[in-house]
Amino acid sequence: MESPNSRCTDSLVVGVVEDPRVLQWMIIASIRVSLRGASAREITRDALLEKVSQERELRNYTKRATAAAIFIQRVWRRYNVIKMVAVQLQEEWETLLNHHSVVMTRTWIASSLLRPFLFFITYLSIRHQSISTRDVSCIRHCFKILLESINSTDSNMNFCSLATGTPEEKRIWTYEAQKLISICLFILSECDTHSGGQDTVFLSSMAMRLIVVLTDTKGWKSITVDNFQDADRVVKNLVRFMGSRKGGLYPCIRKYFSKLDAPCSSLKNSVVQPDERFLITASAITLALRPFQTANLDVTEPGPLNVQYAAEQYCVHILTIPWLAQRLPAVLLPAMKHMSILSPCLQALLVMTDLEKENIKGDGRDAFISDTSLFQGQFTQGLNHMLYVHVVNILAENLLDWLENVGWIRKDNQEIQENIETSANPIDLAFSTDTTFGSMKMSYMDLFRPVCQQWHLMKLLTNMKKVAEIIKCNSSLPNNLEYTRKLELLDIAYLYSFMLRIFSVLNPAVGPLPVLNMLAFTPGFLVNLWEALEIYIFPGDVKFSEDSDNCKSKICTNKNDGACEKKQKQTSKDGGNKWVTMLQKITGKSQMDVDLISGQPRTSQVKEDTFDVWDVEPLRCGPQGISKDISCLLHLFCATYSHLLLVLDDIEFYEKQVPFTLEQQRRIASMLNTLVYNGSSHGSGGEQNRPLMDAAVRCLHLLYERDCRHQFCPPGLWLSPARNNRPPIAEAARTHEVLSAKADDALTIPSMASVITTTHVFPFEERVQMFREFIKMDKFSRKMAGEVAGPGSRSIEVVIRRGHIVEDGFQQLNYLGSRLKSCIHVSFVSECGLPEAGLDYGGLFKEFLTDIAKAAFAPEYGLFSQTSTSDRLLIPNTAARFVENGTQMIEFLGKVVGKALYEGILLDYSFSHVFIQKLLGRYSFLDELSTLDLELYRNLMYVKNYDGDVKELSLDFTVTEESLGKRHIIELKPGGKDAIVTNENKLQYVHAMADYKLNRQMLPLSNAFYRGLTDLISPSWLKLFNASEFNQGIVSGNHDIDITDLRNNTRYTGGYTEGSRTVKLFWEVIAGFEPNERCMLLKFVTSCSRAPLLGFKHLQPTFTIHKVACDMPLWATIGGQDVERLPSASTCYNTLKLPTYKRPSTLRAKLLYAINSNAGFELS
């Protein structure tokens, strides 16, 4: 019996399987299995279906394999047959020409000569991509006959007369002419004039003559007036074929051009004579330009020939050849830059699809229509500048995208550029990239060279102004493309913004310096950029020029920048009136400007409402909140102006106020300050905004450092962006410490990166607190590491002789390194050799640091000297290098200053601004020389502005130094002794001299001092302050003390109270002291003449006045006598031991005597 399962299976299988034989086999198999009952070999339904499917696929595969084999056999048989026929035809063709003399009519040429020739040459040579010696002979013979026929005046003998014959003759001629063109172009592509044989070169020359004649009716001798139009029409169709994809004209020409001699190579090894090479090259250029010329000369047709495809192919295959201008004869280049050629190419590039642009970049190249030989100080006559700029912008943007995709854009490019700007060493102009891409980069740099020339920018600006004036004067101009799509400042800004980025990538060793040099010194360009930016950033309170109006129309009508107009209206409504009133009070050109120029800082307090003025609303969201157009203008402006600031001296900046007035400088500073802070706080928006942020940060720092040295901005300007959202001091300190170690990643961390980028937005007092927080964190970490176990532990004991304080300190402390952070106990030995009384609980060490600084920094000691300016600031003495242990001593003094900073002890001496710049890791420029050597600065300014011939001054590139009675001549550049200063290189001389005095001369000693300083103070901690703050606040402080602050933070012991008579007399007396006397009093009590940075509330221990009771006889008191005892001090506890004086005159006299005696415990 059958089981129910078997019946069910049978029914399902029948429903699925359609082949009756398979169905029969399946039923039999099922019956066999069912008769035996259940079995391990029973095939399930799924397995059976899979087996059937596999067998069906096997049968299908067998059928396809059989069909493929048959097709291959058919192709192979066809190939063999065609080859045999071609060889047979070639033999018959050769026999016909060699052994039979026939009349070579046009019909015989088309049928008997060309028909078999085209067949066997196509199948024996063209399709094999090689030409044998036998084929070369046949081709030369055929071409010779054709050229003789075309030169014949007999229409029956002229092959080209078929083009004007019957329709059948026209069809045959067109077909054969197209085949001949394809063969000639193939011969051209295989030609190598540098290493090819004479036969190949001669054949290429014949091929070029033939194809040139075929595509030009002027070479047809049989043309008459009656059939000229027919011939012209046929030739145009032939030229259209040649310039099409099927014709393959431009790929073949590219292949030939690429084989020409490379740049700077010689022809001495070439087997080709120069005239033969010139003939072939000239013919190739003629053919490349023929589609354009034919279209321009087409006046008989209703519309011109479509050269769109030819223009695209010309751009893709010809203009992208590396070193194209250097490969071609110079006499042929003017034809390639003719307007009839460039204009269609520019239009084709504008409408080129993304896929076509990808084809351009497919071989690692990008099209660019400029070349050093194509631009010799002027544009092509009649060039559409708007079209040119738009095309270059499109191609430059594509090039940047491609460079980013292939990995040429790296983060270290910015580091290289910053090192160039901050390094005193000569720049190595060699490329730092690998040799694989070196030649390609050089080719690009050669193509972009015209962009670095000033005529290029001036021509564009002149054309922009000219078109704007035409439109302004003629309001009824037609709405054509020439005037509706005019060239604008924004287009030019995009062009040079792209160029800056491209130069940074392709030549990182030099970067965009050539472009920046040109932009910075082009008259009026920076001013035009700023006026365009003012329209958007400061609306409602600026006067615009025609150029800025030119840019405004494009910025605010861009469809992608819809927020621009809305922001302008809102800002104008809310802030217009405020600007008018507040700028008159704060930034107007009034007496304040006069004070700024004279160098006297303002003392007025910053009002709270002034913060809103300097917090620029359109930039409160950073670079993400502005349009692409504004971002481009900002990037170009910041990069150019930061470059100009490097060479702008104080006379130009403050007195002449060029290129901007001080009011404009303040606006620029507020714009950059707001942009950089908010860009760092909210995130810059990724790599696309990185060039803008880098340029803005660099420009902002240059303006801020100039303001710190010679103030022109109100303090509220720098503080305004962060007034409401500054992080707490401890958090900011920790963030600064973390991000300083990873400065490259700082801009990627929102809100915290601003702690590094714009530390100046924190008030000075808060930054001092951050600095003390760093010290606190460092001490805590040392304690956790076991370096500080408790009070008095791991302390260092030193014994210092009063007469040898510098030498003893150097010998005992110089080699401790970071152990100087530990507690140091000082014991003094008097000049008599006796130990001085007193225990050091901090006061004696403070006295030691103060005294060693006073002795070592004195000019008489020889390690430091004073500047020639009126403030007499300290700077390392260059002669110290020649003194024994001079460099080590200066390094030790760096440790002394570092220890003072670490312990919060203020010193009595101020350093030169230039020297502090070196300690902060910053480069000094020409304008800072006035703070170091005013006389030298004036002399250099005299040379810079000298109207006559500088050769009259007899200067060379050397400087003479005197040290230890010897004179040393130092060259400012290699070969400086023989380099005479002329009008052409006087700027180079001025900056070379300034660079030597400001950077190179003191660099070894500055580095030594820096090494000692950073043994105790981390370099990242120093980044919180500028040079003026470091000098005036961190090192020396104010040269007076705040009596009110001291009185409010004084403690009274021994019976004194704030209301005691003697205490009141004390405060009255010191109020009448001179500032230096008050400082001496403070040093008498605390061993330091400067108040703590954050006020006396941070003085530890607290300033204390202790009562010293003095018993006096009754008769002395009645007689009016006062206490004779002198005041004394305990500097360990910052305590003044004050006797109970009765009269202010006595108290004043006793105090002055005590503080001038340079004693403390001895007076007790």
Active site residues: 1132
Could you give the CA distance from residue 29 to residue 26 in angstroms, rounded to a whole number? 5
In whole angstroms, how far apart are CA 457 and each of 522, 639, 791?
Answer: 8, 16, 70
H runs (alpha helix) in 1073-1138: 1075-1086, 1114-1118
| CA-angle at 228, arms to 226 and 231, nearest 5° | 130
Cβ(286)–Cβ(212) below 8 Å? yes
Q: How many CA atoms lie within 13 A of 504 on its CB side?
A: 25
**Rg of the chain over all Cα atoms, to the nearest angstrom:** 45
Q: How many CA atoms lie within 13 A of 795 on its CB side?
A: 14
Residues with Cβ within 8 Å of residue 849, at least 6 apart in sequence: 896, 899, 900, 903, 905, 907
Tokens at 396, concatenated: 């430059």
Please report the beta strands in 543-607, taking only residues with DSSP state E, as ranges in sequence order: none
Q: Which DSSP string do the residues of 513-544 spell out, in sequence order?
A: HHHHHHHHTSTTHHHHHHHHHHHHHSTTS---
Q: Which helix (H) or strand (E) holds 68?
A: helix 45-99
Tokens at 5, concatenated: 């399962």
Cβ(519)–Cβ(457) below 8 Å? yes
Beta bridge partners of 1051: 1104
CA of residue 406 relative to chain centroid, distance: 18
Tokens at 941, concatenated: 């300014």
Q: How many CA atoms lie within 13 A of 225 on its CB side?
A: 0
Please report the beta strands in 923-1064, taking only residues with DSSP state E, as ranges in sequence order: 958-963, 966-971, 1050-1053
Beta bridge partners of 835: 829
Could you give the CA distance from residue 1008 to residue 919 in angstroms, rounded to a whole number? 10
Closest CA to 110 of 73, 65, 57, 150: 150
Could you give the CA distance from residue 1069 to residue 193 in angstroms, rounded to a whole number? 102
Size of the chain, expressed as the number of residues it contains: 1164
Tokens at 857, concatenated: 């920094």
Tokens at 191, concatenated: 């030609």
Could you give the CA distance from residue 391 to residue 366 in angstroms, rounded to a whole number? 12
- Long-range contacts, 159-162 (Cβ 8 Å, 24+): 159/106, 159/109, 159/110, 160/214, 160/220, 160/222, 160/223, 160/231, 161/106, 161/220, 161/222, 162/106, 162/110
Could you give the CA distance from residue 865 to residue 877 in angstroms, rounded to a whole number? 5
User: Taking the alpha carbons of 597, 598, 601, 604 in that order, is the dihedral positive or negative?
Assistant: negative
| CA-angle at 676, arms to 671 and 677, nearest 5° | 105
* Three-state DSSP class for residue 980: strand
Could you give the CA distance from residue 192 to residue 263 in angstroms, rounded to a whole number? 16
Closest CA to 921 of 415, 420, 423, 426: 423
Taking each continuous run of H as one helix and of E as one strand, the counts in the chain are 50, 10
| CA-angle at 817, arms to 811 and 820, nearest 5° | 80
